[in-house]
Amino acid sequence: MSSIEIDTVSMHYTLPNGGSVHALDNVALDIRQGELVSILGPSGCGKTTLLNIVAGFLAPSGGAVRVDGQRVTGPGPDRGMVFQQGALFEWLSVERNVSFGPDMAGKKKSQTAARVAELLKVVGLTGFESKPVYQLSGGMQQRVALARCLANDPGVILMDEPLGALDALTREKMQGLVLRLWKETGKTIMLITHSVEEALLLGERLIIMAPRPGRIVKEYRLDFAEQALKQDPRKVKATQEFVRTREEVLSMIWSMEEAIMGHDAVTETASA
């Protein structure tokens, strides 16, 4: 199990066309071991850039990220990733996707078979072992992605809108699964989402980011995840406390979006 230390990270992101975006400005965040932190913000607030820096796919322009005190310089199996979609290997069966990490580490099939079967049971895919992944529904594919990530037993799991491409009903079910997996495995999870409900329900801590430049503007400590583990998550979502917080966060995000839209309209007229 691991902790994440994001030490005043700044990022001037250079676009392929040479343009530059001030994506992150002195972002500081410590995530304790075993904590589930959700990060929310309007598009362009740099939340995915931040996740990519923690994952080691991008080098920050300033500051550093440390996982268990070790400075991150590149991707590694200590930080598992769950992407929105399309990151499964469609030429492999469900089983082979899940065992990809152990397979790459040179473990024998006989050593990993039991663990893979166990993980498939946890995510509810027993019986689908030899199915090709492209035959599964979107929700099932994300279950495979979760199991694939867990098979490597990383201390940290980084999720980049893992449920973003699913329909509303599947999404609700999957939120329950993510919570359960978090509780059972005790992993440190950093979750990027654009869904306010999801961020509130899953995050022990909710970080709200604002764009231009991307920065942390507000932080909540929440206990909806604890409640949702004990009772029906839908009941938690209907509580007064949840609805009130949701409206508060929503209006904050809305005003940010509006500020951007206004800003864009102004610059467009100015340049025209």
Partner 1 sequence: MPEPEKPSRLAVWLGIADNSFTRQKTVKFGDASAVNSGRLYSILIVVILFAAWIIASAAGVVKPFYWPPIGAAIDRLQILMTDGFRNVSLWNHIGISVYRVLSGVFYGAVIGIPLGFAMGLSSLARGLFDPIVEFMRPIPPLALIPLIILWFGIGEFAKIFLLFLASLFIMTLAARSGVSNVRVSKVHAAYSLGASRLQILRHVILPNALPEIFTGLRTAMGVCWGTVVAAELVAADQGVGSMIMIAKNFLQTDTVVIGIVIIGIIGYSIELVMRWLERVLVPWRGKV
Residues lying near partner 1 in the complex (CB under 8 A) are found at 55, 57, 74-77, 79-81, 83-84, 86-91, 100-101, 104-105, 132, 134, 148-149, 152, 154
- Whole-number minimum distance, CB 52 to partner 1, in Å? 8
Residue 192 near residue 161 (C-beta atoms within 8 A): yes
Pick the closer one to partner 1 by CB: 178 or 200.
Answer: 178
- Whole-number minimum distance, CB 48 to partner 1, in Å? 11
- Whole-number minimum distance, CB 94 to partner 1, in Å? 13
- Whole-number minimum distance, CB 235 to partner 1, in Å? 35
Pick the closer one to partner 1 by CB: 24 or 88.
Answer: 88
Q: Report the relative pairing of strands 62-67 and 70-71 from DSSP bridges.
A: antiparallel
DSSP string, the chain: ---EEEEEEEEEEEPTTS-EEEEEEEEEEEE-TT-EEEEE--TTSSHHHHHHHHHTSS--SEEEEEETTEEP-S--TTEEEE-SSS-S-TTSBHHHHHTHHHHHTT--HHHHHHHHHHHHHHTT-TT-TTSBGGGS-HHHHHHHHHHHHHHT--SEEEEESTTTTS-HHHHHHHHHHHHHHHHHH--EEEEEES-HHHHHHH-SEEEEEETTTTEEEEEEE--HHHHHHHS-HHHHHHSHHHHHHHHHHHHHHHHHHHHHHHHHHHHHHHH-
- Whole-number minimum distance, CB 44 to partner 1, in Å? 20
Pick the closer one to partner 1 by CB: 159 or 200.
Answer: 159
Pick the closer one to partner 1 by CB: 45 or 156.
Answer: 156
Pick the closer one to partner 1 by CB: 38 or 48.
Answer: 48
- Whole-number minimum distance, CB 107 to partner 1, in Å? 11
Pick the closer one to partner 1 by CB: 72 or 253.
Answer: 72
